[in-house]
A = this chain, B = another copy of it.
């Protein structure tokens, strides 16, 4: 354990003397910051599983059932605070609920920590607090503890919210990137990119024929439907910062597998596609707040698709690809994501290197 405070920073101070916006963007720099700095300083076996949620087994209980809990945290700094389809409050509930759901947990209890900027309109805070309660009710969770801090004007940005969450894991599946296997089907729950584009449009005052609404929603029901349906889920990931592309690259790297996807099977709303073309974004990397990918055993692929399509939030679900290589062991193999384009060409999907859309969550 590194406790020598004078030890040198593991990130090159020549290259990155200061934190950049891209260090929070979900791409390569954020990955580097987490891996090189936070993992180096804070390492422990649970943190090193790199899940959306930490899975905690309470060994303290010697008799009866041993509780397995999921525990997660997320801070929300979205700008603007209100956008079509949601606001920072709904996002703070759904984002954390979704992180818990990605371990297959039933989310139960949330905390809420507010960092308010002096001068924030009181009524804005009230609208956000009400939206949080409404979203919590819809997701089946309770906000059981909280904290409020106020920073001086110009040292914050209206309101930042941290929500941490606890869920209970009652299934016996092992839902983790390390469990992804050759032959697994890759399923996407719906169209991608709406959240990021909705935020961008609200921020820049862009107008479209019809308003593009964020996909912000709690994914817990969809996941529970898969579990109840007996689907052999190997991995689950919600597609937030960095979008579908970054999520798949992370899973490929963690599993050491090759993931092959088909562009034609990935739904993108026509207006979102148009906005991306104009703004120079690739929808693969645009953030979502109510979409997931799941990797399931091949024999369960069709059934999983059916279960997902029966759920409101999975109505336009698709099988978008397959896990291919088994090659070497996960620890030595290089994970890879390839995509067959609509015109038949195959390209390698890389992790986003710079900052695409800052502060989308």
Partner of A164, one of B1, B73, B122: B73
Instruction: Produce 1/0 per residue, A7-38, CB < 8 A to B.
Output: 10111010011111111110000100110011
A74 in the interface (beta carbon within 8 A)? yes
Copies of this chain in its oligomeric complex? 2
A344 within 8 Å of B by Cβ? no
Q: Which one of A140-148, A180-188, A255-263, A295-303 contacts B?
A: A140-148
Interface string of A52-93 (1 = CB under 8 A from B): 011010101111110101011111110100000000000000
User: Smallest Cβ distance from A226 to chain B, in angstroms?
Assistant: 20
B residues near A61, Cβ cutoff 8 Å: 64-65, 67
* Residues of chain A in range 89-121 having any CB-CB distance to chain B below 8 Å: 108-109, 111-121
Segment with Cβ contacts to B, from A124-132, A227-235, A345-353: A124-132
B2 touches A118 (CB 8 A): no
Interface segment among A155-163, A171-179, A319-327, A332-340: the answer is: A155-163
| Chain B residues with CB below 8 A from A117, complex form | 19
Most B-side CB within 10 Å, residue of A1, A40, A125, A127: A125
Tell whether A123 is near chain B: CB-to-CB under 8 Å. Answer: yes
State the CA gap A61–B24 with chains docked (Å). 39
Q: How far is the CA of A113 from the CA of B38 in the complex (A)?
A: 11
Q: Which residues of B contact A116 (CB under 8 A)?
A: 19, 23-24
Is A47 at the interface (CB under 8 A from chain B)? yes
Whether B65 and A164, one on each chain, are in contact in the complex, defined by CB atoms closer than 8 angstroms, is no
Given known pairs A38-B148, A115-B115, A126-B11, the reply for A18 and B121 (CB within 8 Å) is yes
Shortest A76–chain B CB gap in Å is 8
A34 and B150 CA atoms in complex are apart in Å by 13
CB distance from A126 to the nearest CB of B (A): 4
The chain A residues found within 8 Å of chain B, CB to CB, are: 1-5, 7, 9-11, 13, 16-25, 30, 33-34, 37-38, 40-42, 44, 46-47, 51, 53-54, 56, 58, 60-65, 67, 69, 71-77, 79, 108-109, 111-123, 125-127, 129-134, 136-137, 142-152, 154-157, 160, 162, 164, 166, 168, 170, 358-359, 361
A-B residue pairs, 10 tightest by C-beta:
A64-B64, A24-B150, A164-B164, A73-B111, A41-B129, A162-B162, A54-B144, A155-B157, A54-B145, A9-B126
